[in-house]
Amino acid sequence: MKLRRKVYMVAGYNTISMGSGRKEFHPKKPRPGLEEYMKEAGQGVLQQIGGAAHVDECVVGNFIAARYNKQANLAAFFPFIDEGLKYKPCIRVEGACGTGALALATGVKSVLAETAEVVLVLGVEVQNSVKAVYGADILAAAGWYKERKKGHAHFFPGKFSERAGAYYQKFGYEKTREAMAVWYKNAIENARLCPTAQEFHNTSPDLLGTGMMKPNPHAFVESLNVFDCSKVSDGASAIAVVSEEGLKRCGIPLSEAVEIKGVGMAEYDITKPPADPTRLETTSVAVGKALESAGISKEDLATVECHDCFSIAGVMAVEAIGFAEHGKGADFVLAGNTSRNGKVPFNTTGGLIGWGHPTGATGVHQAVTIWEQLTGKTGDAQIEIPADRPYGLSINMGGDDKTLVSIVYKKTT
């Protein structure tokens, strides 16, 4: 995507990522619903930009509330967020787990098309509304549902278990498992620094040992343990996509914004299996497009938010970006390069495994985290952003490497 005018993101907000692991979570007690999460996140942004009067358009990303919550037409909740949004143009977009970044890209396109100077973008999902076995069936819609009957009961863990198994066979079991355990350890340690993270309350004394737990195909899937997986999560994230005029309208200084320098989008045939299960090829294409659009290389990146729905996806994303050769992603992770003090810190508030994965909100949460890091607003989770590497990258994946959106962000001052 070529950006023919300057586009910025400002005023990010995350609700708590609610689910097992949070002290407040109890499966049998009432919890917030879609509208409550949308209102909290939406108001969180509006309060930072001077109110709803400054908003021209709204976009909500949601994967599958029609099944989880028996609720569709989510765009019509924007006036519920604030009466000042009544009669504003609002739409809802969907692309499985890549929905959040699709919502961001939609907002960016509105600013580029000059139909809006300020777009309120929100992602939301409430998934703890059904038992896990039913949720697995709902989430299977992110893949080709005709494969559901012949797939694993835990459909998507089964898909990435197949990828992990292929990776073990091709590049070695022990080293790969160790790298996946380190990925889990990094995720939880980062989540412990972020009060909204689902794993914020995790006090496990031996994260590496937990991550190394041997997969048990009789209890779960063949090549992943449960700690290799992101959790079932409820939550919402929101941010404003604005033009230069939008910044002025909202009274926000440039120092409080991040500039969107590049957007890369790519799609793969949902009916086809991956040509090589040890590669995230569509991810690689989307990242390449984003970096080219921004006019930078991977070496310019200070931090990355990648779609680690499973720990093996994190290891493979390292390779898809180009930080390691094919089959060397595990070595890159084991060397500490992706830790918060490493060469390029990944998922600094926990990623999908640590922060949580409310599917429709994940891509927006990634953008909020990058915005917080590049503007120095991440609190205890803050990392150093080197002056010569003022860029961040996000990768949001829908399905099994099918719907990809990658975004490059730049620190403004």
Percent of the chain whose pLDDT exceeds 90: 95
Quote the pTM value.
Answer: 0.97
Fold of 8-131+232-256: Peroxisomal Thiolase; Chain A, domain 1 (3.40.47)
Any bridge partners for residue 124, and if so which? 236
* Neighbour tally for 193: CB within 10 Å: 18
User: What's the whole-number average pLDDT of the chain?
Assistant: 97
Round to whole Å and give the CA distance between 220 and 35.
Answer: 33
Instruction: Look at residue 247 in the predicted model and tell me its pLDDT.
Output: 98
Q: Is the pLDDT of residue 174 over 80?
A: yes
Region(s) of the chain under CATH 3.40.47.10: 8-131+232-256, 155-230+261-411
Task: Give the per-residue pLDDT at 132.
Answer: 83
The 10s digit of each residue's pLDDT in 16-28 is 999 999 999 998 8
CA atoms within 13 Å, Cβ hemisphere of 291: 18
Mean pLDDT of 212-233: 95
C-alpha span between 290 and 363 (Å, rounded): 15
Backbone angles phi, psi at 329, to 5 degrees: -60, -40
Q: Topology of 155-230+261-411 in CATH?
A: Peroxisomal Thiolase; Chain A, domain 1 (3.40.47)
Tens-place pLDDT, residues 123-173: 999 999 998 889 989 999 999 999 988 878 889 999 999 999 999 999 999
pLDDT at 354 over 80: yes
The three-class DSSP label of residue 109 is: helix
One-letter amino acid at 391 equals Y
Chain segment 267-310, per-residue pLDDT in tens: 999 999 999 999 999 999 999 999 999 999 999 999 999 999 99
